[in-house]
Chains A and B, each alone.
Chain A
Amino acid sequence: MEERMYDLIFICRPDTPEAEIDKLIATLTHAVEEKQSKVEKVEKWGTRRLAYRVKKLREGFYVYMVLRSGHGELFKELERRLRVNDAVVKYLTVRLDEEIKRQEKLSKRREKRNARRPRKTAPAAPGAEQAATAAG
């Protein structure tokens, strides 16, 4: 099955020890790898102010993961684990591959257009180059 990109962000209570967060990340990673999927990136953003109160908390410890998976049902399992964990107050999974695909398409098109029809600044550059070679 075609692989898809996902973002997974979850917020822990700010008073949870970092070791426990690491353990949670490890179990999640393990669950991901069991499904022949990959964890592309794990980022701990650290304690941030929440925009609104969540479970009476004003701050939270953010963890951000990028996953690549072909199994949608994996996220059912991951979300269940996050829901069950007492330290986690909020989580969000977003499927991003379509947006990334769109972005790549647009960037490619922009690059192509710039290469084919150079802007005002571009023709000046080859001219300068020629002058440089003539001088040299």
Chain B
Amino acid sequence: MADETHAPQQHSPSHHSSSHSGGRPPGGLGGPGGSRPPGPRRGKRNYVRKKKVCRFCVDKVDLIDYKKPEILQSFVQERGKILPRRMTGTCARHQRWLTVAIKRAQNIALLPFASEL
């Protein structure tokens, strides 16, 4: 379940903006007064954002271990940047612990500071 919510977030932030403009095909204007049911019609953006849940809260983690790079890896961009909360859905408290854990892992070469190409 958690994987589902994380999958689209692996992309770079630029993906977001491109989905705005390209999300609606030109045919979307068709059918004025037609078959569309009278529902809530909010602007142009009409997609439902999936609610992101903190993965550490789901797993009831009380201590984020810096010695497990496999877990930390999924909260880091490909080049080694720490992903922001808004991308991963991590709660504030766990994000705070997570950054500390990631930085420790970087110090002992378990995670890259910036991965080379």
B-to-A contact residues, CB < 8 Å:
60, 62-63, 66-67, 69, 104, 106-113, 115-116
Query: A52 and B109 in contact (CB under 8 A), knowing A92-B104, A94-B104?
Result: yes
Which residues from chain B contact A102 at a C-beta distance below 8 Å?
Answer: 62-63
Q: A92-B104, A94-B104 are in contact. Are A54 and B63 (CB under 8 A)?
A: no
Contacts of A106 in B (CB 8 A): 62
Of A51, A52, A60, A99, most buried by chain B (CB within 10 Å of CB) is A51
Q: Do B116 and A92 touch across chains, with their CB atoms under 8 A apart?
A: no
A107 in the interface, Cβ–Cβ < 8 Å? yes
Query: Are A52's CB and B62's CB within 8 A?
Result: no
Residues of B within 8 A of A11 (CB): 108-109
Q: Measuring CB to CB, which residues of chain A are less than 8 angstroms from any residue of chain B?
A: 7, 9, 11, 50-52, 54, 60, 64, 90, 92, 94, 99-100, 102-103, 106-107, 110
Bound together, the chains give a CA A11 to CA B106 distance in angstroms of 13
Interface hub of A11, A92, A100 (most chain B Cβ within 10 A): A92
Q: Which of A90, A99, A103, A107 contacts B108 (CB 8 A)?
A: A90
B109/A64 in contact, CB under 8 A: no
Sample of 10 A–B contacts (CB below 8 Å): A9-B67, A11-B108, A52-B113, A52-B116, A60-B109, A92-B104, A94-B66, A94-B104, A99-B63, A110-B60
- Bound together, the chains give a CA A52 to CA B63 distance in angstroms of 26
Our pick among B60, B66, B109, B112 for the contact of A90 (Cβ within 8 Å) is B109
- Within the complex, the shortest CB–CB distance from B111 to chain A, in Å, comes to 5
**A contact residues around B107 at 8 Å (CB):** 92
Closest residue of chain B to A100 (Cβ to Cβ) is B63
| Cα-based distance from A110 to B104 in the complex (angstroms) | 27
Which chain A positions have C-beta within 8 A of B62?
A: 102-103, 106-107, 110
* A51 with B112, Cβ < 8 A, contacts A92-B104, A92-B107, A94-B104 known: yes
Cβ of A9 to closest chain B Cβ, rounded Å: 5
